[in-house]
Amino acid sequence: MRYLQLPAATYREHRARLRQHMEKGGLAIFHSNDIMPTSADGTMPFKQAADIFYLSGIDQEETILLLFPDAFDPKDREILFVRETSPTIAIWEGAKLTQAEAGELSGIANVQWTGNYEAVIKRLVPQCGLLYLNSNEHLRQANEVETREERKNKELLARYPLHSVKRIAPAMHRIRSRKTQQELEQIKRAIAITGKAFERVLRFIKPGVKEYELEAEITHEFLRNGSRGHAYTPILGSGYNACVLHYITNDGTCKDGEVVLMDFGCEYGGYASDLTRSIPVNGKFTPRQRDVYNAVLHVQKEATKLLLPGVVLADYHRQVGAIMEEQLIKLGLLDQKAVAAQDPEKPLYKKYFMHGTSHFLGLDVHDVGLWHEPITEGMVFTVEPGIYIPEENLGIRIENNIVVTKDGQMDLFADIPREVDQIEALMAERAKVMA
C-alpha cells in the first residue's frame, strides 16, 4: 500500500458513531464506487466512495458494507463484502484483498465475497424494520452519471417496495464532519506533503515559466512522498488567469511583474489538504500587490478567529463579508457611502470577493457537513478569502486549513509561509542559490 493506513480501531469508532444515529431495527447499506470508463478499453483511476471508506477503510471496487445493529444473529450485525480474487485477477490487475486482510483492515469479523451479497440481502431484509439507503446529498452535487450506489438502491427499492426507507446521508454528514484524532493525523500528513510542494515551487518559479510546469513540480513532489496525487484539479493562474475562480487549464505563461495564484493540495490515504498561496513571479511584490495581499491576509486572520464552537456558518460568512468591505474601501475599490446604502441581499463586496470563505475539509476537499447546525469541536475548515481585480490583472487568495478546538482554532498550515516578507525572503534565497 502506498500510504500509511489508519488502524482498524478508527473504523470501529466510525461505525459506532453511526449506530448511535440509527433507529432500532434499521439496516444500513453502503456501496463502493464504480471504476469509470473513458473510451475504448480505458478507465479512470479508481476512487473509493468516501462513506464506505470512512466506515471500513476498504479502498477497493465492488465492496459492500451492511450494518444491522439489531440483527438476531450477532454475526449479521456487521458484514463486509469484497471482490473475490483469483490467480487471473492477480496476474492482470494485481491481487485483491483476501477476506482475512479485509477483516484486519476494517475490524469487521464477518467478511464475505461480493458474490454472496444477494443471498444475504434476501435473508436479512425481511428481518429489518427499515432500510437506510445512502445517496450523495452534498450541496454542490450536480453529477449526471448514475453511481453504483444509486443503481443498487433502485434495485433494492424495486424488490422491496413495501419496506420503510430512510436517508442515512444526514447522519453521515454529521459524524464525518467531526474528525477523530487519527483522521487529523492523516490530514496533517497530506498537509506536510503539500507544504513541501509549495517550497519546491518557490525554488522553481521565474518569469517565462509555464503554469503547467508549476503543476508538474507540484505533482512530482506529491508522488515522491507517497501521495496518489492531487486532492482536486489544481489551479495555477498567473496575472489575469488568477481572476478566473475555477481556472484549471494551467497553460499560460508566468510573466515578470505578475502574481501567480496557486490553489492545490495533495490527497493522502483518502484525506485532502487544500492550500492557496499567491506569490510574485519575479520574487518581489509591487506596492499595489503588497497592499492587496495584506488586505486579504488581514481578512483571513480575522475570519479564522471567528471559527468557534457554537457559531453558525451563515452568520460567520456575513461577518467575514463586513471585514472584507472595510478592506476594499481602504484599497479604493469600494465607496464607503455606496456600501452604507447598498442592498444587504446584494453586498457590493461580491464584485471583488464572490465566493465563500470556508468549507468543510476531510475525505473530500469540499467535505460533507450540516451547514445549518452550529460548528463543533473537531471540525476542519478552509479559510480562503480572496480579492480579484481583473482590470489590474491581479487576483490574490490565501488559504489555510483550520481545526476548530474547544477554545479556538489550530492552524494546520501554520508552518507554511504566508507573510509578504517571508515569501520574498524565501524567493530571494532561491535566487541566490540559482545564481
* C-alpha to C-alpha distance for 153 and 31, rounded to whole angstroms: 9
DSSP 178: S
Handedness of CA 168, 171, 175, 176 (dihedral sign): positive
Do residues 409 and 420 make contact, with C-beta atoms less than 8 angstroms apart?
A: no
Contact 239, 389 (CB under 8 A): no
Q: What span, in angstroms and rounded, lies between the C-alpha atoms of 435 and 424? A: 16
Alpha-carbon distance 273 to 191, whole Å?
5
Catalytically annotated residues: 41, 246, 263, 274, 355, 359, 366, 384, 388, 397, 399
Which of 254, 264, 280 is CA-nearest to residue 197? 264
Q: What is the dihedral of CA 168, 171, 177, 182, to 10 degrees?
A: -90
Query: For cell 431495527, what's the residue?
Result: 25
The CA dihedral of 315, 317, 323, 324, to the nearest 10 degrees, is -160
- Give the full edge-to-edge strand order of the sheet including 266-268: 229-230, 266-268, 271-272
Residue 404 dihedral angles phi and psi, to the nearest 5°:
-80, 125
Closest CA to 280 of 420, 167, 166, 404: 420
Element (H, E) at 229: strand 229-230
- The residue type of 252 is G
Task: Give the Cα separation of 12 and 54 in Å (integer).
Answer: 10
